[in-house]
Amino acid sequence: MVHEVVIGLGSNIRPETHLELAVKELESRFIVSRRSSWSRTEPVGITDQPDFFNGAVLLKTNLEQNALKRMLREIEDQMGRDRSLPKSGPRVIDLDILIWNREVVDEDYYERDFLRKGVAEILPDFEAN
In a domain, 113, yes or no: yes
- Looking at residues 89-106, what average pLDDT do you find? 96
- The H or E element that residue 11 is part of is strand 3-11
The CATH code of the domain that includes 112 is 3.30.70.560
Residue 41 is assigned to a structural domain of this protein: yes
Q: Choose, from 94, 106, 112, 116, the residue flagged as catalytic.
A: 94
Among candidate residues 29, 35, 81, 106, the one labeled active-site is 81
The per-residue pLDDT for range 8-61, each reduced to its tens digit, is 999 999 999 999 999 999 999 999 999 999 999 999 888 899 999 999 999 999
In a domain, 83, yes or no: yes
* 22 found inside a domain: yes
Domain count of the chain? 1
* Active site annotation includes 113: no
Structural domain includes residue 129: no
Residue 100 lies in a domain: yes
Comparing 23-27, 54-58, 79-83, 92-96, which segment has the lowest mean pLDDT? 79-83
Q: Is 94 a catalytic residue?
A: yes
Question: Is residue 36 included in any domain, yes or no?
Answer: yes
Q: Which of 96, 102, 112, 113 is catalytic?
A: 96
Mean pLDDT, the chain, rounded, equals 95
Q: Show the domain range for 105.
A: 3-122
108 carries an active-site annotation: no
Tell me whether residue 81 is one of the annotated catalytic residues.
yes
Q: Residue 21 in contact with residue 105, Cβ under 8 Å?
A: no
CB atoms inside a 10 Å sphere around CB 21 = 17
Report if residue 61 sits inside a domain: yes
